[in-house]
Chain A
């Protein structure tokens, strides 16, 4: 990588545990989440939501609601005459859903916004919302992806020929020929529907101030949100400011610009008073994005010893109603891109479909299609090993990419430039077998128990293009660094912080890259008026791409610091080092010029600047990873990510034969995200990711009945508590990417993608005597118990 990505002369923070500057506020109740904000004269909304899964709206009566004391206005789609539908930039290869902030003519899921009550407070708004009467002509509901695939299934969007929003059927003739000539093994896998469930639900507060729209919201992207608002509302982008204060977890769910964000904005502009929406948990269950809900059909041509020669895969994602922006078909494409795993499988062709059903729109969620792929591939390999009678680890070893194979381009086009696939697998196998023997010794004689160990090895694309999801934005990030006359530093960037530590990595890298104490660095993020245009949080990208932009800007500032210091100290630039806020000749700490002196010269006493040096000590940079591709080639191949992290997981479990409950005795993983910036933060990301992965595997399930009525209330949506979450053993490998700044790879999602596969394989091992079919998640106790004969 270019020198412009180098850290400074004497880095002291990167790689160490820097504590987080925002923690003092968060630990004393001084955090400011959107729901904590109030404005004088503020009003609040409650949304009237569809109670039927599929129906035509024949009448909406709002008079009774509007008459409630304290109600300001009740609106429906008919009032939004100056609002445009959300755009679809992918219309070349997708069908376009009617995505509008309030349902027009039809509702397509329970929870769909139909009307909005604006009232003096939320209590009154809820009172009035109950009085809005909506008549529906109910239509048959499509409630599963299998149904949606049927040619005669009821259509959500009547003008479409079917329910397939996305339907990519690449030429599979080459793979078909290999399948025809060899032994073939087939399996179908499904991953259930679960979602992010951040502890803070969604919230938005809009205000008209100085003729402009100001929106405080929980969205993960200040600028994408601003731009999208300008597409939907009749407001110029210069007149919109989006601010994201503290956010209580995003995990992808808060990537979408939801109807309520638009509605509070529209109402604030219309009434000239601040309007707040704080989503409650009951509506969050049905109106915030769901995720996963995938089916993967794998056919593989195999050798007699189980090695995979070629694969043909069909991925189908259940999108729910698809009324969401950006659209949610991209996880299916991501699943498709990960279907070979970190194995040398040169021929793999994947057909990808994303279908609409009468359920809550699917959307982004940590892992974003990868957990689905890893579950399918890693279960497939275990089943294949059993089928041909070889050891499941040996079968993996026979196909796994070795360091000497790198760089390696996968069948889907992903460029694996670095990694520790074999090493990480060997590490967890070693630990896993020891843990399994301990478990056997402890529980082996208990007739009510069976123990098992399962493994999963995986790669995971990080820092992806946004184009797959939006067909609009690409992959850059921005950073601006400005040294103030007193030597303190102000950094702004398009990256955002939902709790994952973004603010801290920005401060850490800036301090090292400029050679200044971290206390002197002030980080400002997520205010579209104050920060350069960037894409924000998704796809474990921020440290890679935001870090790259930051290092580029810092490099420019550093160069200027040295050129001014060289003049002040009368020493050659190349002999100077910057450390602890001082510039001096390497090896002799005095004489020195402080950053404050240099900045004062650059900004105030510009008469002292060396000849040819312009005033000011600041730089803005934008970085877009060079090798990241945004559009597939003619054969559908694409390298959609800046880099690829890898991991291996091992789970040792005990199955309670009476209840079917899975107890995790040990959970071990080896993880490789390249260079580590902040070890506790990396570990925290892995712990949190594993907890969510385990939740989706064992506990969390968003169920619907045949009418499309949601069946899972929050009390039944089983977010794991500390009693369910096991201790983890985490081993770190560091294989820096040659293609990213500092070799950093993202870590935000790595933990989430492995548990379904590792637990599924452990369960198959534990219950091997019963030949269980473990091809779906979640693996609830009832599901597991049904695998055990009475």
Chain B
């Protein structure tokens, strides 16, 4: 389990990184924290001719509040979010501890996790729930991609050739919204067997804004729009069972050694119910 032969580079600016990407095309692969990529190299499931280590590019390490939300640079580590806080982004705060273990979060990055687009990963689900904007840097400048169109398949994103994920802007939720992050994994720190992220706002007991995302139950994290629809205008308590049933029905899970598709539907129903109980006023 040793990486295949490869070259390594470490640019100091985004422009240098983009130049290398342009020059080496398909052969090149950005290396952020490497917590998914290096295991893939060790398994020889990935064979880039050139690794572009983006870890020393200061521009990618920004973390700041902007008008449109909480901006996090691609190479900000998950540990930094855990240690320095998530700037009031409650869903992110709840989700981060579920990412692997401390040792993984120490190196793993926000951009790396999102660009890797593992269907069972936490941050893509948070991004989808918060209608995040992914900002891609390319030869022609920056391009915004909304979360819903960023994840296009298991381990596949919609970045174009020559583009790098520069940063992510996590959107705001209404001030009254409450968040929950529920994940079922076999062991602490394992990838989810199923998970639900929720941000729900209510006014006088009625749901005014419901965002529910299921992950690890299909090729991508998916907004539970049917369940969100069920909740609209109702009290969480009264809609709980219907929302859970709708959520279980609208996903397209698959079988693996940890459970059948049917089991994952049961899990999503359970987790949806529990997440909604968490956010009930």
Taking Cβ atoms with an 8 Å cutoff, the residues of A that contact B are 122-123, 126-127, 130, 280-282, 658-661, 699, 701, 703, 711-712, 715-716, 718, 720-721, 723-724, 780-782, 785-786, 790
| Cβ-defined contact, B257 with A281, below 8 A | no
| Cβ-defined contact, A723 with B188, below 8 A | yes
Minimum C-beta distance from B20 to chain A (A): 24
| Cβ-defined contact, B187 with A782, below 8 A | no
- CA distance in complex: A122, B42 (Å): 12
- B:127-166 near A, CB below 8 Å: none
Look across to chain B and name the residue whose beta carbon is closest to the beta carbon of A782. Answer: B259
Of the candidates B43, B263, B271, the one whose C-beta lies within 8 Å of that of A785 is B263
Minimum C-beta distance from B61 to chain A (A): 29
| Cβ-defined contact, A718 with B190, below 8 A | yes
Contact A659 B187, CB 8 Å, known A280-B1, A701-B257: no
Minimum C-beta distance from B36 to chain A (A): 11
| Cβ-defined contact, A780 with B258, below 8 A | yes
| Cβ-defined contact, B266 with A785, below 8 A | yes
Minimum C-beta distance from A68 to chain B (A): 10
**Residues from chain B with Cβ under 8 Å of A280 in the complex:** 1
B102 proximal to A (CB < 8 A): no
| Cβ-defined contact, A658 with B266, below 8 A | yes
7 A-B pairs (CB sep. < 8 Å): A127-B4, A282-B43, A721-B188, A781-B186, A782-B258, A785-B267, A786-B263
B83 proximal to A (CB < 8 A): no
Minimum C-beta distance from A528 to chain B (A): 31
Of the candidates B184, B187, B273, the one whose C-beta lies within 8 Å of that of A718 is B187
Minimum C-beta distance from A785 to chain B (A): 6
* Chain B positions 252 through 281: 1 when the CB is less than 8 Å from some CB of chain A, otherwise 0: 000001111001001101110110000000
**Residues from chain A with Cβ under 8 Å of B5 in the complex:** 127
- CA distance in complex: A130, B3 (Å): 12
- CA distance in complex: A723, B187 (Å): 8
Contact A716 B257, CB 8 Å, known A127-B5, A790-B266: yes
Look across to chain A and name the residue whose beta carbon is closest to the beta carbon of B266. Answer: A785
* Chain B positions 167 through 200: 1 when the CB is less than 8 Å from some CB of chain A, otherwise 0: 0000000000000000010111111010000000
8 additional A-B residue pairs with CB within 8 Å, beyond A658-B267, A658-B274, A782-B260? A659-B270, A699-B187, A712-B257, A718-B187, A721-B187, A724-B187, A782-B258, A785-B263
**Residues from chain B with Cβ under 8 Å of A781 in the complex:** 184, 186, 193, 259, 263
- CA distance in complex: A72, B184 (Å): 49
**Residues from chain A with Cβ under 8 Å of B188 in the complex:** 721, 723-724
- CA distance in complex: A788, B1 (Å): 42
The 6 lowest CB-CB distance pairs between A and B, nearest first, are A658-B270, A782-B259, A723-B188, A280-B1, A782-B263, A123-B2
**Residues from chain A with Cβ under 8 Å of B193 in the complex:** 781
| Cβ-defined contact, B258 with A658, below 8 A | no
Of the candidates A126, A712, A780, the one whose C-beta lies within 8 Å of that of B2 is A126
Of the candidates B1, B184, B259, B273, the one whose C-beta lies within 8 Å of that of A281 is B1
Of the candidates A130, A718, A782, the one whose C-beta lies within 8 Å of that of B44 is A130
- CA distance in complex: A721, B187 (Å): 7
Taking Cβ atoms with an 8 Å cutoff, the residues of B that contact A are 1-5, 43-44, 184, 186-191, 193, 257-260, 263, 266-267, 269-271, 273-274
- CA distance in complex: A518, B270 (Å): 59
| Cβ-defined contact, A711 with B257, below 8 A | yes
- CA distance in complex: A83, B261 (Å): 50
Minimum C-beta distance from B188 to chain A (A): 4
Minimum C-beta distance from A546 to chain B (A): 37
Minimum C-beta distance from B118 to chain A (A): 12
- CA distance in complex: A781, B257 (Å): 11
Most buried by A among B193, B259, B260: B259
Most buried by B among A126, A658, A721, A790: A658
- CA distance in complex: A123, B4 (Å): 8
Of the candidates B186, B189, B191, the one whose C-beta lies within 8 Å of that of A699 is B186
Contact A716 B263, CB 8 Å, known A130-B44, A282-B1, A658-B273: no
Minimum C-beta distance from B102 to chain A (A): 12
| Cβ-defined contact, B257 with A703, below 8 A | yes
- CA distance in complex: A478, B169 (Å): 70
- CA distance in complex: A281, B2 (Å): 11
Minimum C-beta distance from A35 to chain B (A): 13
Look across to chain B and name the residue whose beta carbon is closest to the beta carbon of A712. Answer: B257
- CA distance in complex: A282, B43 (Å): 8
Minimum C-beta distance from A580 to chain B (A): 48
Look across to chain A and name the residue whose beta carbon is closest to the beta carbon of B101. Answer: A721
- CA distance in complex: A660, B194 (Å): 13
**Residues from chain B with Cβ under 8 Å of A130 in the complex:** 44
**Residues from chain A with Cβ under 8 Å of B190 in the complex:** 715, 718
Look across to chain A and name the residue whose beta carbon is closest to the beta carbon of B189. Answer: A721
Minimum C-beta distance from A58 to chain B (A): 25
Look across to chain B and name the residue whose beta carbon is closest to the beta carbon of A716. Answer: B257
Minimum C-beta distance from B4 to chain A (A): 7
**Residues from chain A with Cβ under 8 Å of B44 in the complex:** 126, 130
Look across to chain A and name the residue whose beta carbon is closest to the beta carbon of B194. Answer: A659
- CA distance in complex: A703, B255 (Å): 13
Minimum C-beta distance from A659 to chain B (A): 5
**Residues from chain B with Cβ under 8 Å of A661 in the complex:** 184
- CA distance in complex: A711, B5 (Å): 28
| Cβ-defined contact, A716 with B258, below 8 A | yes
Look across to chain A and name the residue whose beta carbon is closest to the beta carbon of B245. Answer: A790
Minimum C-beta distance from B13 to chain A (A): 31
**Residues from chain B with Cβ under 8 Å of A724 in the complex:** 187-188
Contact A659 B184, CB 8 Å, known A127-B4, A127-B5, A721-B189: yes
Minimum C-beta distance from B246 to chain A (A): 15
Look across to chain A and name the residue whose beta carbon is closest to the beta carbon of B274. Answer: A658
Minimum C-beta distance from B247 to chain A (A): 13
**Residues from chain A with Cβ under 8 Å of B187 in the complex:** 699, 718, 720-721, 723-724
Minimum C-beta distance from A566 to chain B (A): 63
**Residues from chain B with Cβ under 8 Å of A701 in the complex:** 257
Minimum C-beta distance from A359 to chain B (A): 15
**Residues from chain A with Cβ under 8 Å of B269 in the complex:** 658
**Residues from chain B with Cβ under 8 Å of A122 in the complex:** 2
Minimum C-beta distance from B8 to chain A (A): 14
- CA distance in complex: A660, B263 (Å): 10
Minimum C-beta distance from B7 to chain A (A): 15
**Residues from chain A with Cβ under 8 Å of B191 in the complex:** 715
- CA distance in complex: A126, B270 (Å): 45
- CA distance in complex: A659, B184 (Å): 8
Most buried by A among B3, B260, B263, B269: B263
- CA distance in complex: A699, B44 (Å): 27
Minimum C-beta distance from A755 to chain B (A): 17
**Residues from chain A with Cβ under 8 Å of B186 in the complex:** 699, 718, 780-781
- CA distance in complex: A718, B191 (Å): 12
- CA distance in complex: A720, B188 (Å): 9
- CA distance in complex: A130, B47 (Å): 13
Minimum C-beta distance from B279 to chain A (A): 17
Look across to chain B and name the residue whose beta carbon is closest to the beta carbon of A724. Answer: B187
Minimum C-beta distance from A776 to chain B (A): 15
Look across to chain B and name the residue whose beta carbon is closest to the beta carbon of A719. Answer: B187
**Residues from chain A with Cβ under 8 Å of B184 in the complex:** 659, 661, 781
- CA distance in complex: A281, B43 (Å): 10
Minimum C-beta distance from A325 to chain B (A): 26
- CA distance in complex: A720, B260 (Å): 22
Minimum C-beta distance from A160 to chain B (A): 31
- CA distance in complex: A660, B267 (Å): 9
**Residues from chain B with Cβ under 8 Å of A782 in the complex:** 258-260, 263
**Residues from chain B with Cβ under 8 Å of A281 in the complex:** 1
Look across to chain B and name the residue whose beta carbon is closest to the beta carbon of A699. Answer: B186
Look across to chain B and name the residue whose beta carbon is closest to the beta carbon of A279. Answer: B1
Look across to chain B and name the residue whose beta carbon is closest to the beta carbon of A711. Answer: B257
- CA distance in complex: A720, B190 (Å): 11
Minimum C-beta distance from A360 to chain B (A): 16
**Residues from chain B with Cβ under 8 Å of A786 in the complex:** 263
**Residues from chain B with Cβ under 8 Å of A699 in the complex:** 186-187
**Residues from chain A with Cβ under 8 Å of B257 in the complex:** 701, 703, 711-712, 716
Minimum C-beta distance from A50 to chain B (A): 17
